[in-house]
Structure 1
Amino acid sequence: MTSVNMSSIEWPAIVKLTQHDELLYLEHQRDWLELACLYQHHFIETDQLLDSKSQLYFICATPQTIHEDPVSELPQLLRQPQILPLTEFIKWVQNHAQALGQCCVAKLAFTTVTQGFEIVRTLEE
């Protein structure tokens, strides 16, 4: 697993925090940078970012040290060898909808990752 260049991530993306069912929708790289700055010391090693091509990345917080460059302290994204299966993404979206108090969550389904991203985006509004 190697740290990735931000340009290899297909935006929008979704962050899945291990300890929460809610998903965080990130429209642009700028949204990731804001989240990473706010949350940088709170990520745990099983938190993940999913890009719009189904590529999974683990979010690895950097140790708390003093750096000259604050950007170097931001969490690193480690690309996973596998993509997230659509069936697993559907579970993520259903759990997200349920956490937001939506009803009929079991009927919530989609056939493409793009549709799933759109559901998460609209649930956030």
Structure 2
Amino acid sequence: MVILTEKDITGEAAARLRDTLGLTQTDFWKAVGLTQSGGCRYEKGRSIPRPYRLLIFLVHVAKLDVDSSTPENAASLVRLGELQRDQKEADRLPVMIEQCRNVETALRAARGMFEHAAH
């Protein structure tokens, strides 16, 4: 099992990760703010919401402390969410650049046709 990003975390992957770490369901899921019964539902196939997949990745794969009980830690989590949002925007840039190039090409073609028709 290879978990490279939070997208790789499914219920089955979470259960295997938990087993690999030697954690009980209670300890594994409590670390990300869920009850044992809530986590068990995910391990049995229910889709894990993205925020929990991200927390599982941060806590159990990246080994980061995501305790939000202090203002400093809560602020760090907010910044992390902002960074992830910024990364999603950055991931869209190549597509947006290509779309701009297509528009530019279409405008040049239209201008050429207009100039040709004017002569």
- TM-score by shorter chain over 0.5: no
TM-score under structure 1 normalisation?
0.24
| Higher gyration radius (CA) | 2
Q: Compare relative contact order (CA 8 Å, sep 6+) and give the higher one, 1 or 2.
A: 1
- Pick the structure with more strand per residue: 1
- Pick the structure with more helix per residue: 2
